[in-house]
Amino acid sequence: MTRWDGTVVLTTDRLLLRTFRLDDLPSYAALNADPEVARYLSGPLTREASDEIAAWANDKYERDRMGLIAVERRAGGRFLGMCGLHRQSSMPDDVEVAWRLAHEHWGNGYATEAATAWLDYGFDTLGLSEIISMTDVDNHRSLAVMRRLGMHFDREEQIEDGGVLFDALIHVIAADEWRARRAR
């Protein structure tokens, strides 16, 4: 049974990274239905599909202490989207940091801030040796976030997501690289 309690997992200066609450679902569905947001994903999602992803994320976090969970702005409590760690089905041996924010919140550094917290968590709490991130070749905004995180190009692979195949650029950062970067 999915819990919808909004458990805070991580905090940053501006953000709460927490499990989904039921009152997040309409905003999350609007985000997932936005063609601009879904442009480099497998396309816009229905409300039902969006709700299923949120339930999966909460269940995944409950079970594995990883998941693509909610991002909330601390000032005002505004739901912004999701970010977290997970294993993408096409690459089950790798842990990916991923993000998806509502279009109106792009360009404010939220993705980088949330992903930074998750990288700290992945390396320091989970003891991962490396974390990847992947995106469509033309998704310049996500590629820019990866570069700001210090991730570097590793390889190109064909990935299946939601029944859609796409060419993905895989970026990676190792724990020692991340710690050295954070120490500076």
pLDDT of residue 2: 94
Residue 65 lies in a domain: yes
Nearest to 45 by CA among 100, 98, 110, 3: 100
Lowest mean pLDDT among 22-31, 41-50, 65-74, 139-148: 41-50
Classify residue 140: in a domain, yes or no. Answer: yes
Q: Does residue 107 form part of some domain?
A: yes
- Is residue 2 assigned to a domain? no
Residue 25 in 3-state DSSP?
A: helix
What is the average per-residue pLDDT within 31-43?
88
In the predicted structure, residue 162 carries a pLDDT above the cut 80: no
CATH of the domain at 118: 3.40.630.30
Residue pair 86/67 in contact (Cβ under 8 Å)? The answer is yes
**Residues of the chain above pLDDT 90, percent:** 85
Q: What is the 3-state secondary structure (H, E, C) of 120-163?
A: HHHHHHCCCCEEEEEEECCCHHHHHHHHHCCCEEEEEEEEEECC
Question: Which pLDDT does position 118 carry in this prediction?
Answer: 98
Domain hosting residue 12, numbered range: 8-183
pLDDT band at 125 (very low <50, low <70, confident <90, very high): very high
Residues 117-128 have a mean pLDDT of: 98
Our count of domains for the chain comes to 1
Question: What average pLDDT does this structure show over 149-171?
Answer: 90
Percent of the chain with pLDDT over 70: 99
pTM across the whole model: 0.95
Phi-psi region at 127: left, alpha or beta (left = phi > 0; alpha = psi -120 to 50): left
Domain assignment present for 3? no
Residue 58 lies in a domain: yes
1 within a domain of the structure (yes/no)? no
Residue 96, SS3 per DSSP? strand
Give tens-digit pLDDT for 45-85.
Answer: 999 999 999 999 999 999 999 999 999 999 999 999 999 99
Residue 30 falls inside a structural domain? yes
Environment class of 163 (CB within 10 Å of its CB; exposed 0-12, middle 13-18, buried 19+): exposed
